[in-house]
Structure formats: structure tokens, C-alpha cells
A and B are shown apart, each in its own frame.
Chain A
Amino acid sequence: MSDVRLSGVSKSFGPVQAVRDVTLDIERGELMAVLGPSGCGKTTLLRTIAGFERPDAGSVIVADEVVAGPGRFVPPERRRIGMVFQDYALFPHLTVTANVGFGLAARARDQRDRLTRRTLELVGLQHRADRYPHELSGGERQRVALARAMAPEPALVLLDEPFSSLDASLRSGLRREVELILRDAQATALLVTHDQEEALSLADRLAVMRDGRIVQVGGPEEVYVQPASRWAAQFVGDVNVLAGVAHGTGVETELGVFDLRMPASGSVHVAVRPEQLELRADHHGNAEVVAREFRGHDVLYRLRHEAGRVVLVQLPSLELHEVGARVFVRPAPSAVTTLVD
């Protein structure tokens, strides 16, 4: 069953339509990511769900309660939604314990203490309980922010670009940690990010957003492998968009013949990921290496194809091709491609 349901949500600021007719379901215990470039309206969407913005149209249902809809608006403090802010917004005058316990003011003291302690343990910060926010590291602050949002046992946890103010070196470790904490608590969570790697690796499902609209919803593999549009293909990772002619289950392009996921015919465009191509050294090959981006476990090559176009190819870094080398590029044996606009 779905725990959070947005239907037809729109929000404008003056002439700017930040969120347009967004419909989205989030299952109980699911970790959903909204992925989009900055300015696409994803933060407005999050704030609308939290109750900091009032939608112009549409409705928001959280745990079977309409919190925003025609003639109805539940203020944020009564929505049972926890929010982790981009720069955490910890209360500087309160200790870690008091921050985490802030949302429990209405509970009985022993229950408050117990919940606070349990949540601190969940995020592994019981030894920092009496510190003040400025005495913590960036990662610890983030975990306090998460604990504070989760302590009142909200129906939904919202995370607004939660990793963007952390060092890159800390990011992936914390990402995993946050994921485990959320899964441990079986929390329903909605994460907003512009980082496709973050969204792909963390979320159960993701919603790709552009100009206020959701353009695709699906599991990470689905969104990556079967992009709904050329834009979505390009936004979620590197991609070659090739023109070709489809004959049923195959499509013929200037780089060779690819399998098609869905049969089609006529002239089409297909999205080919860099790892769906392979290349070998060949003095009479059909392309030349113009740039090489070494990424440790793999290498991204930028080739100039004899037909003139630039082609991206990603290979494991087992065998390296030098810039300027002639190579032969062709579809990888298992490459199945998707039609795009």
C-alpha cells in the first residue's frame, strides 16, 4: 500500500511554475529519491510535502490523512513529517540530546528520554549526547539532524540534499550509513538530490524531475537502462544518442547493429550507454581516441568516429588506449538499447 500520495500537485511563485502537476506514490518503508538539476522544483516539492509551502492545486496524503488539498491545509507541526535540512538547521543553543528531543516535547518525560536515547543509539551518537552542535564534525551533525527528524517517529522522513555540504571523501560512507539507519527504522523516506550517483545507489526508486514535472519514475536500473527521454538519458549518466533505422528487434546505426528492447521500425534515436560499446586497437579502425578520463576501476574514452561524431566509451581499466590511437568501436555483445525522442 502506498504511504504517501501526491496527486496533481502544482505550486507557482509569481510567474514561475516551480512544481507542475506532480503525481507520485511512495510505498511504506520505501526510500524514494527525487533527482533533478538545480532549479527543477524538487526542493519546492519537498517543502510542499512538509507544509512550508501551500500547493496551488492538487493534494498531498500522508499516512491516509489529507494534509494538503482543496480547502484543507495541515500546518507543518501537525503533519508527522520529519525533515533533514541541507545545512542541518540544528539548534545552536541546545545540546545533541535536546536537539533530538525537541520534537518530543509533548510526550511524557520517561518516554521522551527513552526515545531520545534510542534514536541517538540508532545513529551511533550516544557518546556525543551532551555536546553542542558547533562541537561536532560535519558527519556527526548530519546524523544528529537525522536523529532529530526521526525521533518523533514520523510517517515520512524528508531529506533535502543531505550530503551536499559534506566533503566528497565523507559522502559515500555517510550515504551508506544514512541508508542503513533509515532501513533499520523501516522509515518511509523521500530524498531530494541533484547527484545521480547518489540517487542511483541509495534509492529503491527514483523520480526524475525536470522543469517542475516528473518525467520518469522507476527503479535505479530501469531509469538508467530505459530512460524515458533523451533528456533523462543524458541527465542520469553519460550517454550516446545515435540515429538509426529500426527493423523489428534490431536497429542499425553508424556504430553497428544494436538489439532493441521493444520492436520498432523506421528511423529512430537510441540511447547507448558508454559501457554498451567496446573497442579494440586497430590501425585501420573507424575511430580515434581524442581524450581519456582515467577513473581507477574504469576508463572513459572520448572518440572521434569517422562519420564525424563524438562517441563515449567506458571500459574496465585492464587495457589502456593512448590518446591519438586508432581504434575500432562496435556494440558490446549484450547491448540492448532503448528508443528515445
Chain B
Amino acid sequence: MKPDGIDAWAILTLVCAAAVAAPLIGLPLSFAVAPGGLSEFSGLVPEAAGATVVLVVGVGAGTLLLGTALAALVSFCDFPGRGWIEWALVLPLAMPGYVFTLFALGLDVPGIRSSLGAVSVFTLVLYPYVYLLARAAFLAQSRTLLEAARGLGLSRRAAIVRVGLPLARPAILGGVALALMEALADFGTVNLLGVQTFTDAIYKVWFIAFDRDAAMQLATLLVSVTLALLVLERLARGRARYHQLAARGDLAPPVRLRGVAAAVAVVAPLALVGLVVAAPLAQLGVWSIESIREGLLAPEFATAARNSVLLAAMSALLVPLAAILLAYGARASRSRAAAGAARTATIGYGLPGSVVAVAVIVPLGWLERRIDGIAGTGLLLTGTVIGLFYAYLVRFLALAWGAVESSLTRIPRQLDEAARGLGADRLDVLARVHVPLMRTGMVTAALLVFVEVMKELPATLLLRPLDGDTLAIAVWQATTESLFETASLPALLIVLVGLLPVAAMIRLSGRRGAELEAAQATGAWAEELEERTVVPA
């Protein structure tokens, strides 16, 4: 029997998935192609491994403590201004590590150029991942469980420690895993601070030695570390079940803080957000004005700004479109293969930009030589923005897919059938039922991709065409040359754009359901990512 699923949709989905996933699956092949490729750079690996261990331990501990403590504070305690402090604590999400590094370097903070400095920077800008997921988990806990614990003789604090925290453990660890993946993926911060991690090594091998095989092998190692983290996180859950049948709105009443405790509860989070967001913004503002007044702006600034906006806007259009195609194809064709393909296509997320760049260059280069042989087009793919778009697609497809898919799954299949029964073909169903119902999801997807592309540094750096500087590259370049004033205006622009989705998320949070949804769009693909990346048993 031929299922009615194998059709144009399924094929489109499969092709799209293959295009996105193939380069990543091809990465480990580099070991087979050039077995001794890394021997030339044997010094880089131990150093990168050492730095990675320091980062994982330091950033893991730092975000775990900071994120969980802040989440517990706003979930279990009440104090003046809690409502907006709760959301102010999310703002550091908009601060890319390399921009904060620029701020710290510009102020000449002692000891910043070290592993410890990098750990501090990452902890400060990445704790919101843990904070958001832990907070959502705390808020989802039913008061019955905490009250049961108190009925069994625990104090309120003991109940939180012995019941509340363990229940939130998967969420907290999920947040830590996300923060660590971001830290491992980072290139700008570690490069500027002189910490030699894998991303830094990939950059050096690529640009200085121009050895693609070695770069691919380093990328493979980095991916293995990332995957290992996810597996560890999964193992840490053990066999316990954490799902609860909590009735919504049945929240544990928070403890009202008074006196010194209340003052600390207000001042500490504000100081933190002040340090991570307000102070850098103010300082960047001052430097920007100086740079304009004294003519220190890079001559390429206007081009870089234009490039950034164009790249981000094009990606914000293309990537969600591909995501819709995938998600919709998987839904419409109903075949298992298409659903699996859609999942496979989203493995790129959480992978470092440098890894993605290295991964896509090989198939692109191969294709380019074939086309060149026929049409004489030269570096059609790797020498133009096409390669860059491809990398963005691989890297950010999951982000857009998550937003689109979550709004698509909320559309019951019966609506499709109702529309079909009323004479709508599949395209009609898409245009007249799905698109109107998915509008929020699609706007979210476009916004997230726009912002991520604006911030993206490593893949852009490795794949940009010759004259293709972006704002992110301008920031990094000027900072490496200690031209902090010159770096400020582009940095400021990146942070301001980055505030958009965070602001949207806060605005949406007026509605309770939307809050979790928004948190999900920004942070909580954790679970999905996990499901997708866990090695088959």
C-alpha cells in the first residue's frame, strides 16, 4: 500500500533536511580523509582541552549558583519591585560576551585577560539561561508538594531545599547545559581575552595555517565535547520522574521579605543588571559619542552596518521560510521519514558557529568546483554571501523551527481536515488556516534569527566575502587593536537590537501562558535539543 504521505511535501522536507544536516554529519569524515591532519598542531589540542575544562567547570558552577539563586529569590520571595526585577534579570541575554569583554577591556579591569576573566564574563552574560528555566520550573511546582513537605515537619526553607530544588533539577541542569554550549561556542570573548579554546584554535588553524582538514578535526572534537555535555545532563536526571500534575495558578504563596533582607533582594539583582547591562550601555554610549566627535569611527562603519542589517534581514526571511517548509512538510505528509528529517535538520543549533562554518565549506567548495568546471563562475559559493547564508541556515534553523513548530503543533489536525473537506487544497490550508494562526510564531522566529545573525561572529568571520565586514566583526577587530572607542558604536547597535526580543518577551509576559512560550522561544529549546542530540541507546 502506498501511503498518501510520500509526495512533493515529503520530498521537499527530505531535501531541505539533507542540505542542512549533511555537512555536519560529514565532519567526522575528516579524520578518515587526513588521518594525521592534526599532528602539525598537536600543541593546540591539550591547551584547548585544558581551557575547555576550566570553562565548563567555572561557567557551569557560576551560572548554576547565580541563576538558581536568583530564580529562587523571585519565585519564593516577595519584595518591593519584584514584578519588574523578575524581568530585568533577563536583560543580560541581550549582551553578547564579546561586547561585555570590550567594556571590561576598555576599563582595563585587572586580571581580565585570563581563564578566570573569561569564566566571569560568561557567568555574567549567560546566567539568564539557568535563571529562566529554573524560574519556569519553580513556578510550575504545585503548592501541594511544598505543603506536603511542610506537613511532614520541614521548615519553609528546608521544603524549598529538599523538595523545590530537586524537582527543578532537570530544568536547572538544562539551563546549565545551554549556558555551557554557548560558552563553548563563543569565539569573540575567548579570543579577545587570550584564552585558547577550541574555537580559537579552529580560527588559527583556518586563517593562519589554512589547513581545512585540521580545522574540521578540531571542530569534530568540539562537537564531541558539546554532545558529551548533553549526554551527561541526561544521565544526571537518572530515573526519577519530575512531571507533576500541577494545576495552573496553584502557586505556592511567596514569603514576604522585610528590612535588610528586602533591601538586599532589591539591591543585589539591580546591581547585577546594572553591571552587566546598564553600565556597559552607558560606557559604550559615552565612547560612541567620543568616537563620533573625534572622528574615530572606522571608515567601514556604514558598510558594516548595512551588511549586518542586510544579512540579518535576509536570514530572518529565509530561515523561518525553510523552517515553515520543514515543519509543514512533516505535518502535511504525515510520513515518519519527513518527521524524522525535520528533526535531523535542526541538529545545527547549539553547535558553535565556527564548527558550522568549517562544516559547510567542504560541500560548498566541492559543488563550487563542479559548477565552475561547467560555467566558469569561480568562487560562486564560498566567495560570496551564499556560503554565509548556508551557514546561518544550518546554525539557526532550529531556532526558527522551534518557534514555528510550537505554534504549528497547537493547531489541531482536525482543522486541516475541516479545511480540506471544505474544498481547500494543501496550499490553501497553509495560506488560509496555518499562516494566520502561526503569525506570532513566525514573527518570533524572524526576530530571533535577525538578532542572532546581527550578533553572530565566528561563522561570519570565517565565511564572509572579502569586503564583507559586519558590525560584529567591526567590534571584534577594533577591540583586538584596543580601539575601544571605535568598537563602541557598532557594539551599542548590536546590544540595542538584541534588546528587541527580550523586550518583546517581557511585554508578552503580561499573559501568563505567553511568558513560558516566550521563554521557550528564547531559551528552552533545551529540551528539544536534548531529545534530538541524545545518542540512541
Interface set of A (CB-CB < 8 Å, partner B): 50-52, 54, 56, 73, 75-79, 81-83, 85-87, 89-93, 102-103, 105-106, 148-149, 152
A-B contact count (CB 8 A): 68
B49 touches A (CB below 8 Å): no
Given A54-B4, A89-B417, answer yes or no on A102-B437 (Cβ-Cβ < 8 Å).
no
Q: CB-nearest residue of chain A relative to B420?
A: A76
User: Would B421 and A50 count as touching, CB distance under 8 A?
Assistant: yes
Write the chain A residue with the least CB distance to B421.
Answer: A83
CA distance A75 to B332 in the complex (A): 14
Contact of B422 among A51, A52, A75, A148 (CB under 8 A): A148
A83 and B4 alpha carbons, distance in the complex (Å): 20
Q: How far is the CB of A62 from chain B (nearest CB, A)?
A: 12
A and B contact pairs by CB, cutoff 8 A, 19 listed: A50-B417, A50-B421, A52-B420, A75-B425, A76-B420, A77-B428, A83-B417, A83-B418, A85-B414, A85-B417, A85-B418, A89-B412, A89-B414, A90-B418, A92-B437, A93-B437, A102-B419, A105-B424, A149-B421
Question: Which residues of the other chain, A, contact B437 by a CB distance below 8 angstroms?
Answer: 92-93
Q: How far is the CB of A200 from chain B (nearest CB, A)?
A: 27
Q: A76-B420, A92-B437, A149-B421 are in contact. List 18 more A-B contacts (CB 8 A).
A: A50-B417, A51-B421, A77-B424, A83-B417, A85-B418, A86-B414, A87-B412, A87-B414, A89-B418, A90-B418, A93-B433, A93-B437, A103-B422, A103-B423, A105-B423, A105-B428, A148-B422, A152-B422
A83 to B417, CA, bound (A): 9
Enumerate chain B residues within 8 angstroms of A85, measured Cβ to Cβ.
414, 417-418
Min C-beta distance of A101 to chain B, whole Å: 10
Q: What are the residues of chain A within 8 A of B421 when measuring CB–CB?
A: 50-51, 76-77, 79, 81-83, 103, 149
- Nearest CB of B to A85, in Å: 5
Q: Does B436 contact A (CB under 8 A)?
A: yes
B292 within 8 A of A: no
Count of B interface residues, CB-CB < 8 Å: 19
Report which of A73, A89, A103 forms a contact with B415, defined as CB distance below 8 A.
Answer: A89
Of A50, A89, A90, A106, the residue contacting B423 (CB under 8 A) is A106
| B507 close to A (CB within 8 Å) | no
Write the chain A residue with the least CB distance to B422.
A103
- Chain B residues 402-453 with CB under 8 Å of chain A are 412, 414-415, 417-425, 428, 432-433, 436-437
Shortest C-beta distance, A52 to chain B (Å), equals 5
Q: How far is the CA of A82 from the CA of B422 in the complex (A)?
A: 7
Residues from chain A with a CB closer than 8 A to the CB of B433 are 91, 93
Return the CB mask of B368-382 against A: 1 if under 8 Å, else 0: 000000000000000
Contacts of B415 in A (CB 8 A): 89, 91
Q: Which residues of A contact B428 (CB under 8 A)?
A: 77, 105
Q: Do the beta carbons of A77 and B418 come within 8 Å of each other?
A: no
- Interface presence of B240 (CB below 8 A): no
B1 near A: Cβ within 8 Å? yes
| Chain B residues near A (Cβ < 8 Å) | 1, 4, 412, 414-415, 417-425, 428, 432-433, 436-437
- Smallest Cβ-Cβ distance to A154: which chain B residue: B421
Is the Cβ of B432 less than 8 Å from the Cβ of A102?
yes
Measured between alpha carbons, how far is A14 from B415 in the docked complex, in Å?
Answer: 25
Q: How many Å from the CB of B188 to the closest CB on chain A?
A: 42
Bound Cα distance A2, B433 (Å): 35
CB <8 Å contact, B1 and A56: yes
Contacts of B418 in A (CB 8 A): 83, 85, 89-91, 148
Instruction: For B424, list chain A residues within 8 Å (CB).
Output: 77, 102-103, 105
Residues of B within 8 A of A103 (CB): 421-424
Nearest CB of B to A315, in Å: 44
Shortest distance from the beta carbon of B424 to any chain A beta carbon, whole Å:
6
Name B420's contact: one of A54, A75, A106 (CB within 8 Å).
Answer: A75
Q: Shortest beta-carbon distance, A57 to chain B, in Å?
A: 10
| CA distance in complex: A92, B432 (Å) | 12
Q: Bound state CA distance, A79 and B421, in angstroms?
A: 8
Given A56-B1, A93-B436, A93-B437, does the pair A102, B414 have CB atoms closer than 8 Å?
no
A196 CB → nearest B CB, Å: 25
Residue of B nearest to A53 (CB): B4
* Residue on A nearest B439 in the bound complex, by CB: A93
Q: Which residues of B contact A92 (CB under 8 A)?
A: 437
A78 touches B423 (CB 8 A): yes
Most chain A CB within 10 A, of B412, B418, B425, B428, is at B418
Chain B residues, CB < 8 A from A52: 417, 420
Distance of A79 Cα from B414 Cα, bound (Å): 17
In the assembly, what is the distance between CA of A75 and CA of B417, in Å? 11
- Counting chain A CB atoms within 10 Å of each CB, the highest count among B415, B419, B422, B425 belongs to B422
* Closest chain A residue to B435, Cβ basis: A93
- Cα–Cα, bound, A149→B420 (Å): 11
A149 to B423, CA, bound (A): 11
CA distance A91 to B420 in the complex (A): 13
Closest CB of chain A to B335's CB: distance in Å?
A: 14
Instruction: Please give, as numbers and ranges, the residues of chain B lying within 8 Å of A149 by CB-CB distance.
Output: 421-422
CA distance A107 to B419 in the complex (A): 16
Residues in chain B near residue A81, CB distance under 8 A: 421
CA gap between A87 and B414 in the complex, in Å: 9
Known: A89-B415, A92-B437, A93-B436. A102 touches B422 (CB 8 A): yes
Nearest chain A residue, comparing its CB with the CB of B433: A91
Chain B residue at minimal CB-CB distance from A73: B4
- Bound together, the chains give a CA A89 to CA B420 distance in angstroms of 12
A105 to B425, CA, bound (A): 12
Which residue of B4, B421, B432, B437 has the most chain A CB atoms within 10 A of its CB atom?
B421
Looking at B1, B4, B414, B433, the one whose CB has the most chain A CB atoms below 10 A away is: B414
Give chain B nearest CB distance to A221 CB in angstroms: 33
B406 CB → nearest A CB, Å: 16
Q: Which residues from chain A contact B412 at a C-beta distance below 8 Å?
A: 87, 89
Residue of B nearest to A151 (CB): B422
Closest Cβ of chain A to B513, distance in Å, is 14
User: Measured between alpha carbons, how far is A79 from B424 in the docked complex, in Å?
Assistant: 11
Tell me, rounded to whole Å, the shortest Cβ–Cβ distance linking B495 to chain A: 36
A106 to B422, CA, bound (A): 11
A87 to B, closest residue via Cβ? B414
CA distance A140 to B420 in the complex (A): 23
**Chain B CB within 10 Å — which of A79, A81, A83 has the most?**
A83
Minimal beta-carbon separation of A263 from chain B (angstroms): 48
Contact of B417 with A76 in the complex, beta carbons under 8 Å: yes
